[in-house]
Structure 1
Amino acid sequence: MLGKSISKNSLLLGLFALVTAGVLAVTNVSTRDRIADAQRAAAEKALYELVPASRVDNDLLTDTLPTPAAMLPALGLDSAEAIHRARKDGKVIAVILPAVAPDGYSGDIRLIVGVNRDGSVAGVRALAHKETPGLGDKIETSKSDWIFGFNGKSLGEPPVEQWQVRKDGGVFDQFTGATITPRAVTGQVKRVLQQVAEHRTLLFELPADAGDSNGR
């Protein structure tokens, strides 16, 4: 009698475990798909904030090339990540590069920086950081319009030596009570522009059919 009871309970427990595992598997798959969709939507939104869809005729999310190894140190990257290309009529009109400012007040500040073909900044966005709420977090567009101050700037306007915050003799504002964060972002955006200028041929002068199999 006791043996039958144990066998029955074991069977029920096994069945319960099997059903639970199935439910968890289904939930995991559906959740993973939703997370992936959300991540894609967020990435797409960020890219098109820098280079509006009206300027391009390709898919910014899929038209990419890996970051050249020579650019990794200056961009603050440990390994190659995707550089997104914006095209119009087959011509690369802008690139969007990943970058990390390693010298934020609370550590790394992950950015994407859009650079137009003429070397001017298309836009900058902070994707992730741990800066102080109410101070350093003003690099977020939801907290401040400070980061829009890079739009249209280039290594010639202002001169490269003025790519600093005002406290350091440059032209970019710092935050009241917080200089380290804007200093870090400003310095990293300047380095991105320098890398784009140095590797211009690789980034912009691509064969017309280079995007046909990757986003065209």
Structure 2
Amino acid sequence: MSILTTNPMVKNGLLLGLFALCCTGLVAWVNALTSDTILLQQQKQLTLILNQIIPTELHDNVLSEQCIFVNSPELLGTKSDLPAYIAYKDKSPVAIAIEAIAPDGYNGAIKLIIGVDNQGVVLGVRTLSHQETPGLGDKIDLRKSDWVTHFTGKLFKDNLNIWKVKKDGGQFDQFTGATITPRAYVKAVANALTYVEQHRLTLYQSHYTCEANHE
């Protein structure tokens, strides 16, 4: 009689190994079936957010198709490349939507995106991802609070003293019991706007899709 059939430990081990192999195959199969759907949903979500922070009446191009990757660890909060989307009206650049990272959130990095026009007026800000504390720091999420809408219409000038929470002498409300999150967020917005002001012409001279520019 084979040791494989008489030794319960060996038999159970083989069964567990086979089960694990089947599960891995199933996960890979499901992932292959759903990857295109997930990508499509992500693209739809991106388009929705871009059209929120740069209203459709201001541009006539597809924002997600006019994009360049940028890099500035100091002002954009990460060593990784981040996309900046260029809005055009009658073939002239009118605004930019740029992603940024607030690396010093209470529970880690916060990813956000800012829309700003040629005059430095903020058109909109949205949170893309975060891990902030529910009921406190998560007020940066539009589904939880309208706090991020308070950036809209603000004119950015290179006076970072006012681009702070009120507790630090600035113009933006902090959250009750949670100052770290809004402080990090406002700083990230101000830094990203500083980057745009410093590199606007270079950004406007780029005519690539994100995919083509990042090969």
Decide whether aligned partners of structure 1 residues 195 and 24 sit closer, same or farther in structure 2, where only a CA change above 3 A counts.
closer
Normalization by structure 2: what TM-score? Answer: 0.80
1:117 corresponds to which residue?
Answer: 118
1:46 corresponds to which residue?
Answer: 49
State the alpha-carbon separation in 1 of the partners of residues 28 and 120 from structure 2: 49
State the alpha-carbon separation in 2 of the partners of residues 125 and 178 from structure 1: 19
1:176 corresponds to which residue?
Answer: 176
What's the offset of the Cα at 1:26? 6.0
**1:199 counterpart SS class:** helix
The Cα offsets for residues 61-92 of structure 1, whole Å up to 9 and x where unpaired, read as: 1110111x4x3431012222221111101111
2:62 corresponds to which residue?
Answer: 59
What's the offset of the Cα at 1:111? 0.6
The Cα offsets for residues 164-193 of structure 1, whole Å up to 9 and x where unpaired, read as: 111111111001111111101111111111
The Cα offsets for residues 37-57 of structure 1, whole Å up to 9 and x where unpaired, read as: 111111111111111222211
Decide whether aligned partners of structure 1 residues 164 and 30 sit closer, same or farther in structure 2, where only a CA change above 3 A counts.
same
Task: Please tell me whether the aligned partners of residues 115 and 121 of structure 1 are also in contact (alpha carbons under 8 angstroms).
Answer: yes
Q: Which structure 2 residues correspond to residues 132-211 of structure 1 after superposition, within 5 A?
A: 132-156=133-157, 159-204=159-204, 206=205, 210=207
1:89 corresponds to which residue?
Answer: 90
Task: Please tell me whether the aligned partners of residues 90 and 211 of structure 1 are also in contact (alpha carbons under 8 angstroms).
Answer: no
1:5 corresponds to which residue?
Answer: none
1:104 corresponds to which residue?
Answer: 105
State the alpha-carbon separation in 2 of the partners of residues 147 and 106 from structure 1: 18
The Cα offsets for residues 9-38 of structure 1, whole Å up to 9 and x where unpaired, read as: xxxxxxxxxxx9998776443311111111
State the alpha-carbon separation in 2 of the partners of residues 129 and 63 from structure 1: 26
Decide whether aligned partners of structure 1 residues 58 and 21 sit closer, same or farther in structure 2, where only a CA change above 3 A counts.
same
Task: Please tell me whether the aligned partners of residues 78 and 101 of structure 2 are also in contact (alpha carbons under 8 angstroms).
Answer: yes
1:75 corresponds to which residue?
Answer: 76
The Cα offsets for residues 111-145 of structure 1, whole Å up to 9 and x where unpaired, read as: 11111111111111111111110000000111111
What is the count of residue pairs matched by the alignment?
Answer: 190
Decide whether aligned partners of structure 1 residues 120 and 29 sit closer, same or farther in structure 2, where only a CA change above 3 A counts.
same
State the alpha-carbon separation in 2 of the partners of residues 175 and 28 from structure 1: 40
State the alpha-carbon separation in 2 of the partners of residues 96 and 147 from structure 1: 15
- Residue identity in the other structure for 2:76: L
Task: Please tell me whether the aligned partners of residues 68 and 208 of structure 2 are also in contact (alpha carbons under 8 angstroms).
Answer: no
**1:160 counterpart SS class:** coil
State the alpha-carbon separation in 2 of the partners of residues 28 and 107 from structure 1: 28
**2:112 counterpart SS class:** strand
State the alpha-carbon separation in 1 of the partners of residues 24 and 111 from structure 2: 37
State the alpha-carbon separation in 2 of the partners of residues 76 and 23 from structure 1: 38
Decide whether aligned partners of structure 1 residues 156 and 37 sit closer, same or farther in structure 2, where only a CA change above 3 A counts.
same
State the alpha-carbon separation in 1 of the partners of residues 68 and 80 from structure 2: 13
Normalization by structure 1: what TM-score? Answer: 0.79
Task: Please tell me whether the aligned partners of residues 72 and 80 of structure 1 are also in contact (alpha carbons under 8 angstroms).
Answer: no
